[in-house]
Structure 1
Amino acid sequence: MPDEALQAAFEIKAACDDISRKLLRWHWEEKPGAHSVDALMKHLAQRQKESPDYYERLPELNGRTGWQQLDTTLCMRILLDPEKDAARPLDLLGNTPHPAAARRACNAVRMARNEAAHASDKTAAAQAAIRFNEAVEELEAGYEGTALTTGDLEKYYRLAEDFLSRCGASETIEPQKKAEDEAPRRQKSQKSGSTSRKRQSGGNRAASGRGTSGRSRNASGRNSRSRQNMQTTARRKKRQRTQSRALTVVLLAVVLLGLLVRAWTMGLMK
C-alpha cells in the first residue's frame, strides 16, 4: 500500500474521531442535567450494566477525563444507542431538529472511520475516502448550523477532496457525481416522454370515444327508423284487417237481404 494512501487513511480516521467528539459533545451539552465528561462516563457505565450486549467490546474507560480521549467507536455507540432497556433514556438524536438526518450522519461517520481503520491497500483507502466524502454530505444535512458551523463543514469538504485526490478516488467519485447529476435529467426526460405518451393515449381514447359515440348514434338512428317502419307496417295491417271485417259484414248483409227478398217473393206466389 503506498505511503500516501496509508497516511490519508490514518488522517480520515483522525478526522472522523474529531467529528464524533464534536457531535457527542454538542448533544451532551444540549440535554438537561450535568454536561461534564465525568457525567458522561457515569451514564456510560450505567448503560453497560443495562445493555451489556450492545456495549460489549468497548475500549477501556478508566482514566478518560477529557473529550479528546474519546474516539468514534465510543461516541457513536452512545449517540446511536437505541436505549430500549434504559432506565432513563436520553434520546440524544431525537432531540435534534432533524433526527433522521442526524442518525444517517452518525452512521456515515462511523462507516467511514471503520473503512479507514481497516484499510490495507490503496483500493480500501480510496473506499474510505469516498465514505468520508459521503459522511460530510450527510453531516451538512443533519448538523449544519447546530453541532457544526459553516466553517466546520467547509473544512471537512476540503479534507474530503484532499483524501479523494491522495487515495486516487477522484477518478471514481467524478463519474458517480456525473451520473447523479444526469439522473434528474433522465428522469425529467422520461417524465416528458411519459406525458407525451399519455397525451397520445388520451387522444387515441378520445378519438375512439368519438368513434364509438358516432357508431352509437348511427345505431340509435337505425333502430329508431326500424321502430318507425315496424309501427307503420303494423298500422297498415290493422287497417287492412278492419277493412276486411267491414267487407265481410257488408257481404253477409247482402246475402241475408237476398234471402229475405227471395222468401218474401215465394210467399206472394203462393
Structure 2
Amino acid sequence: MPEQALQVAFEIKTACDEISRRLLRWHWERKPGAHSLDALLEHIAARKQESPDYYDRMPDLTGKTSWQQLDTTLCMRVLLDPETDAARPLDLLGNTAHPFAARHACNAIRTARNEAAHAAVAADGAQAALLFNEAIEALEEGYAGTAFKENELAQYYREAEDYLSRCSEGKPLKVRQSSPQNAQQGKAAARTKPRNPQTVRSTKSTAGRQSTSARSRSTGIKQSRSTAARSKKQQTGGESRVALGIILAALVLGLIARAISMGLV
C-alpha cells in the first residue's frame, strides 16, 4: 500500500476516534444522573452482563482513566446500543432533537473508521476518504449547532477534501460496491430501468399503426360480409318473385282452360 494512502487511512481513523469521543461525551453529559467517566465505565460493565453478545469483543477497559483513551468501537457500541434487554435504558440518541439523523451520523462515522482501520491497499485508503466525507455530511445533518459548531464542521470538511485530494492523485474517486449482493441489486436495477423515451414513443406509434390497420381490415371484412349478405338476400327475393309469377300465370291459364271446357268462352 502506498505510503500516502496509508497515512491518510491513519489520519481518518484518528479523526473518527476524536469525533466518536466527542459525540459520546456530549450525549453522556446530557442524560439524567452521573456524567463522569467512571459512571460510563460502570454502565458499560453492567451492560456487558445484561447483553454479552452485543458487547462481545469490546476493548479492554482496564486502566481507562480519561476520555481520550476511548476509541470509536467503544463509543459507538454505547451510542448505538439498542438496549432491548437493559434494566435501565438510557436511549442516548433517542433523547436528541433528531434521533434518526443522529443514528445515521454515528453509523457513518463507525463505517468510515472501520474502513480506515482495515485499509490494506491504496483503494482502501481512497474508500475510507470517500466514506469520511459522507460521514461529515451526516454529522452536519445530525449535530450542527449542538455537539459541533459550524466552524468545527468546516474544519472537518477541509480535512475530508484534503484526504480525497491526496488519495485521488488527480483521478476521480468512485465508491465501490459494499458487497456482491449490492452489485446484483445494481444489475437488477439496470435491467429494470425504463427504456429510452424515444424508443418507447416509437414502439407506441408502431403499435398504434398496427392497431389502426387491424381495425381497418376488420371493418373491411365486416363490410364485405354485410354486402354479400345483402346481395344474397336480394338474389333470393328476386327468385321468389319469379316463382310467384310463374305460379300465377299457370293459375290463370288453368282457369281459362276450364272456362273453355265448360262452354263459357
TM interval, short-chain normalised: 0.7 to 0.9
What is the deviation of 1:56? 2.1
CA RMSD of aligned residues (A): 3.5
Equivalent-residue separation in structure 2 for 1:229 and 1:221 (angstroms): 12
Quick one: structure 1 residues 169 and 2, their matched pair in 2 at CA, closer, same or farther if it must change by over 3 Å?
Answer: closer
| Structure 2 residue 154 is matched with structure 1 residue 154 | yes
> What's 1:244 paired with?
246
Could you tell me the TM-score, scaled by structure 2's length?
0.74
Residue 204 of structure 2: aligned partner: 202
Is structure 2 residue 81 aligned with structure 1 residue 75?
A: no
Alpha-carbon spacing, 1:132–1:254, altered in 2? closer, same or farther (3 Å): same
Check conservation: 2:101, 2:141, Cα contact below 8 A.
yes
Residue 196 of structure 2 aligns to a residue whose secondary structure is helix
Deviation at 1:11, TM superposition (A): 2.8
Residues 21 and 75, structure 1, Cα contact 8 Å, conserved in 2: yes
Partner of 1:15: 15
1:213 aligns with 2:215: yes
Paired residues in the alignment total 248
Runs of 5+ consecutive residues of structure 1 not aligned to the other structure: 178-186, 265-270
- Offset of residue 157 of structure 1: 1.5
Paired residues of 1:93 and 1:103 also in contact (CA < 8 A): yes
CA distance in 1, matches of 2:81, 2:35: 19
Structure 2 contact 109–135 (Cα < 8 Å) conserved: yes
The answer as to whether partners of 1:130 and 1:169 remain within 8 angstroms in 2 is no
Residues 28 and 92 in structure 1, CA contact (< 8 A), matched pair in contact too? yes
Deviation (angstroms), 1:6: 5.1
Q: Please name the residue that 1:138 is paired with.
A: 138
Q: Please report the TM-score for the alignment, with normalisation by the length of structure 1.
A: 0.72
In the alignment, which residue of structure 2 is the partner of 1:227?
A: 229
Partner AA of 2:43 in structure 1: H
In 2, the alpha carbon distance for the partners of 1:9 and 1:50 equals 35
**Secondary structure of 2:205 counterpart:** helix
Distance 1:113 1:200 in 2: 51
Instruction: Indicate conservation of the 8 Å contact 2:5/2:167, yes or no.
Output: no
Q: Distance in 2 between matches of 1:124 and 1:136?
A: 18
Q: Deviations along 1:245-269, whole A, 9 cap, x unmatched? A: 22232233234334434xx9xxxxx
1:85 aligns with 2:85: yes
Q: 1:244 to 1:169 in 2, by over 3 A?
A: same
For residue 184 of structure 2, what is the aligned residue in structure 1? none
Contact 1:133 1:161 in 2 (8 A): yes
Question: In structure 1, the residue corresponding to 2:246 is in which secondary structure?
Answer: helix
- Measure, in 1, the Cα distance between the counterparts of 2:257 and 2:87: 124
Q: Which residue in the other structure is 2:172 paired with?
A: 174
Moved more, 49-58 or 127-136: 127-136
Report the alpha carbon displacement of residue 20 of structure 1 after superposing the two structures with TM.
0.7
Q: Hey, what's the Cα distance between the residues in 2 that align with 1:259 and 1:42?
A: 145
- Residue 194 of structure 1, CA deviation: 1.5
Q: Which moved more, 1:84-93 or 1:74-83?
A: 84-93
User: What is the DSSP-based 3-state SS (H/G/I as helix, E as strand, rest coil) of the residue aligned with 2:249?
Assistant: helix
1:140 positional shift: 3.4
Distance 2:171 2:19 in 1: 22
C-alpha distance in 1, partners of 2:10/2:222?
86
Name the CA distance, whole Å, in 2 between partners of 1:98 and 1:229.
Answer: 84
Task: Confirm or deny: 8 A CA contact 1:20 1:72 kept in the other structure.
Answer: yes
Answer 1 or 2: which has greater helix percent. Answer: 1
Q: Matches of 1:109 and 1:172 in 2, distance apart?
A: 26
Between Structure 1 and Structure 2, whose CA radius of gyration is higher? 1
Cα separation, partners in 2 of 1:173 and 1:238, compared to 1, 3 Å? same
Q: CA deviation at 1:2?
A: 6.8
Question: Structure 2 CA distance, aligned partners of 1:229 and 1:98?
Answer: 84
Identity of aligned residues (%): 49
SS in 2 for 1:174: coil
Q: What is the CA–CA distance in structure 1 between the aligned matches of 2:22 and 2:28, rounded to whole Å? A: 10
